[in-house]
Amino acid sequence: MPIYSYRHPRTGEIFEDFRLMRDADTFVAPDGETCERVVNFESFRPINKTLEFWERFPNDVKRSRPKFVRDKAGRRIKYDPTRHF
């Protein structure tokens, strides 16, 4: 189930709630007020596209221990944990 964000119309408070997709458009605040759905851009993290994949996500790469990785140019490189931190 995805997390959806809702803004209270009077107070402006943001509520986050786990909802099924079919129930995503409806949310009632604890005070009984119906809230509108908003996109919470604060939860998104910008990606630095100048870095290689293993530099952007070092924990994911170390955990999966690949035999080969690809650089931005598409070349296949043998994975070296000392070089590809």
State how far the Cα of 3 lies from the Cα of 18, in Å rounded to an integer.
5
pLDDT by residue (tens digit) across 26-81?
Answer: 899 999 999 989 886 655 666 677 777 777 777 777 788 788 888 878 888 888 87
Radius of gyration of the chain (CA): 21
Residue 13 has, within 13 A of its CA and on its CB side, a CA count of: 10
Length, in residues, of the chain? 85
Closest CA to 62 of 85, 42, 46, 44: 85
Query: Who has greater pLDDT, 55 or 8?
Result: 8
**Domain range list for the chain:** 3-43, 45-85
pLDDT by residue (tens digit) across 9-26?
Answer: 999 888 888 888 888 888
Predicted TM-score (pTM) of this structure: 0.47
Query: Who has greater pLDDT, 85 or 51?
Result: 51
